[in-house]
A and B are shown apart, each in its own frame.
Chain A
Amino acid sequence: MAESLLTADAEAESGTRRLRAGLWRENPILVQALGMCPTLAVSNTATNALTMGLATATVLLASALVISSLRRFIPQQVRLACFVLVIATFVTLTDMLIEAYALDLHRNLGAFLPLIVVNCMILSRIEIMASRQVPSVAALDALGMGGGFLLGLLALGSLRELLGQGALFGMHLMPAGFEPWQVMQLPGGGFFSLAALVLGFHALDRRWRTAEPAR
């Protein structure tokens, strides 16, 4: 009894730790540099970034829950085939739902929605966590990683839209005299903004880590 309580406690703690890790210290975009293809390609506006981030996070969460629930039934030999099958199903469903309810967004995201299937962040979370952990831990891990991916993408999309178009979510924010930086909307601008974000993130992270022992 005591042992099972201990295990439950350890799992709960590990779940919340996984949630926080995905959001910050193991952020898939800013730390692990995973899923760079959609990150650089569809982060030209905040709206595109938000939709892509939400779609990826939803697929990850749903796939993690299903795989984690089925982990005892999936034979080791065909686990990757099963993972990809489940992920591809959720990607197709998400793709169809976005097409039905937000056709404009669907057109903006183009080929990158179906390509969520091969997003290495999703497959790695499924292989490392969901296929080995109980659904609650897998779900918290997926929420953390999906949320981290969404936040990274949204920060990148907001920065690029603000500097490249002087707007945020389509609303003009910059002063009238502001000349948009065209380069931010081009692929090169994606790399520049990502580099700036990673630099800023690590500077902030280092400052917090050095401040931590003093607290």
Chain B
Amino acid sequence: MTPGVTPDRAPSVLRVQAVLVAIALVAGLSIATVHELTRPLVQAQRGGLLGNAALEVLPGAVNYRMYARGADGSPELLQTVDGAELFVGLDARGDTVGVAIVASGMGYQDTIQLVYGLEPQQQRLLGMRVVASRETPGLGSLIVEDAGFVAGFSQVVLQFDGDGELQPLRMRDQARYERGEIDAITGATVSVRAVARIINRSLAEWLPVLRAHYDELQGDKRG
């Protein structure tokens, strides 16, 4: 018989540790190397995906400008899609058709990254696309695959209270759509809640920025 893994003679603790550390070191090094090599490819694809998703959630948009938030919180124009957080969608004439916002947060088992569109008056969503998620195939993954759920985001009217404060999106529990409600999906409750939470948090952050800087964002095209 061919000898197997080093047999019973108890090896010294040092040797055991040395083997474990050596294997872990090589493993770590190879993972770090491949990560460094593949990162530009992954980022380029993700960037392309974000741009495509932005065009999809802004009906009528054929082009966009990209922004990220600067140190003072105001949007800064970007030249590349790297790090873009906000897309201002432009139609064929160069008029603004809305803004698409990149948002992410924890899903059922990993981060969900999505892009949602907001109309210029900031009263209604125009659409939503999940760009990256690792939700359970067949269950949580329905937030990407359920066409009805995804299409429903083009009808969501935001709800504000008397003081103009945004009310969070909720899951619809009756047949009739009310303001600020999104569809629920059987089997994907946790993931749908995660999507609602991600959009709520992102809207709370971005609406004040958009209100303060909207003219500036629109103005860039004329300049």
Contacts and interface: CB of A to CB of B under 8 A. Distances in A.
B133 interface: yes
Contacts of B109: 111
B50 to A, nearest CB: 12
A96 B35 contact: yes
B23 A85 contact: yes
Interface in A134-159: 134, 137
Interface string A163-183: 000000000000000000000
Interface stretch (A20-28, A97-105, A197-205): A97-105
B6 A99 contact: no
B174 interface: no
Overall SS of chain A's interface: helix
Interface stretch (B38-46, B162-170, B194-202, B213-221): B38-46
Interface residues of A, number: 41
Interface residues of B, number: 38
Contacts of A78: 16, 19-20
Nearest to B11: A75
Interface stretch (B71-79, B83-91, B135-143, B147-155): B135-143
Nearest to A11: B2
Interface in A74-95: 74-79, 81-82, 85-86, 88-89, 92-93
Interface in B49-106: 49
B3 A72 contact: yes
Given A81-B20, A100-B38, A110-B133, A71 B138 contact: no
A133 to B, nearest CB: 6
Given A75-B15, A82-B23, A89-B30, A110 B141 contact: yes
Contacts of B110: 111
A38 B77 CA distance: 44
Given A96-B35, A99-B38, A86 B5 contact: no
Nearest to B43: A100
A42 interface: yes
A78 B18 CA distance: 11
Residue picked from A75, A77, A85, A112, most chain B C-beta under 10 Å? A75
Interface of B: 1-8, 10-11, 15-16, 19-20, 23-24, 27, 30-31, 34-35, 38, 41-42, 45-46, 49, 109-110, 132-138, 141, 144
Given A107-B132, A110-B136, 17 more contacts: A41-B138, A71-B3, A73-B19, A75-B19, A79-B5, A82-B20, A85-B23, A85-B24, A86-B23, A96-B38, A97-B34, A99-B42, A107-B144, A109-B137, A110-B135, A111-B135, A132-B3
